[in-house]
Amino acid sequence: MSHTSAVVKVEAAGDGLLAVTMRCCNDKTTDSVLTLHELHREDSAIDADIQAHQARIEKLHEARDHAKRHVERLLKR
């Protein structure tokens, strides 16, 4: 399964801070917040931070799914 994340919420977290909530595969249990600071940077730098965080939560979700399948094989049927 291909994991795809998206920004689901943006909030002002404080003076000069934005809290960006991202979610993988529309699964609320994967919600992860990236706090953006130094907002005076180029758009491309902000985009790079967001893309790096998205890649991280997609990788974590994939790993969780893999581990869950691995452990579920031990369930008594």
At 11 the pLDDT is 97
Mean pLDDT of 42-63: 97
Count up the domains in the chain and report the number: 1
The model's pLDDT over 14-27, given as tens digits with 9 standing for 90+, comes to 999 999 999 999 99
Buried b (16+ CB within 10 A) or exposed e, 10-42: eeeeeeeeeebebbbbeeeebebebebeeeeee
Residue-range definition of the domain harbouring residue 10 = 5-72
At 76 the pLDDT is 80
At 1 the pLDDT is 65
Percent of the chain with pLDDT over 90: 91
In a domain, 77, yes or no: no
Query: Is residue 65 scored above 80 in pLDDT?
Result: yes
Report the predicted TM-score, pTM, of the whole model to 2 decimal places.
0.87
